[in-house]
Amino acid sequence: MKNVDDLIESAAELAARGLSKGEIADELNVSRETASWLVERSDATTQSEGRPAQSAPTGADATTENGSRPQDIHVDWAAIGRDSKRMSHVAAAMADLLAKHGEDVDLTIGIEKAGGPIATLVARELETDLGTYTPAKHQWEEGDIEDLGGTFSRNFAGIRDRECYIVDDTITSGTTMRETIEAIRAEGGEPLACVVLADKQGLEEIDGVPVYSLVQVISVGKDD
């Protein structure tokens, strides 16, 4: 993807396929606020009764109702994700970041969707069992996400009071990672460390759990 218009088009395609705004945020590696904005812009550009699609601004001219655009950074790691060899090399680097926490950890939890494939390769490197967690945002459309809940897949390893690592592709706000940490602890488990490909917040820890990333993405700009 090269610009905002590409993101708006992708959001429209994903919405047409029935994905929730939370899932769209996950697919495009943006915040829920940004995903909502992208979907709203895509709706605004479709042709309505007696109104040409071109009448709605897009890209650099598109703003929210209060005149502002969401402040976010889109991370496109498709060049890695489309190739299993590249993925395995990246997973090995992520596993190396976690290895300092000792050899007693025998469970790696991947945050669905994108974190699952990465966690599979990390778990192989670390020789641990594999679990997956589907966060609440996959059900989210509008309103308070705290009213929703995530789930651990029964098709993979359970927590069973075990120490574990958490793997995802990106940290945008930290909300999903924090939710996963809380869910693991609610099951009696103990997350020792988290690792992601890219961290947009530059976080060192979440709720006392160390956070590692291969890349930290820092936005440098002037607030309006």
Tens-digit pLDDT profile for residues 76-113: 899 999 999 999 999 999 999 998 887 789 999 999 88
- The whole-angstrom distance between residue 34's C-alpha and the CA centroid of its chain comes to 13
Dig out the tokens for 103 from the structure.
């050899």
Convert the pLDDT of each residue in 108-128 to its tens digit.
Answer: 999 988 899 999 999 999 999
- Residues 6+ away with beta carbon under 8 Å from 1: 7, 10, 74, 76
Q: Give the angle 123-92-197 at the CA atoms, nearest 5°.
A: 90
Positions in the chain whose pLDDT score sits under 70: 1-2, 44-69, 137-148, 221-224
CATH 1.10.10 domain residues, the chain: 4-61
Query: CATH for 78-216?
Result: 3.40.50.2020
CATH 3.40.50.2020 domain residues, the chain: 78-216
For domain 4-61, the question of CATH label 1.10.10 is answered with yes
- Among residues 154, 185, 172, which one has the least CA distance to residue 211? 172
Q: Give the angle 28-33-38 at the CA atoms, nearest 5°.
A: 55
pTM for this model (two decimals): 0.75
Q: What is the rounded CA–CA span in Å between residue 183 and residue 178? A: 9
Dig out the tokens for 17 from the structure.
């396929």
Strand 151-152 and strand 209-216: the pairing is: unpaired
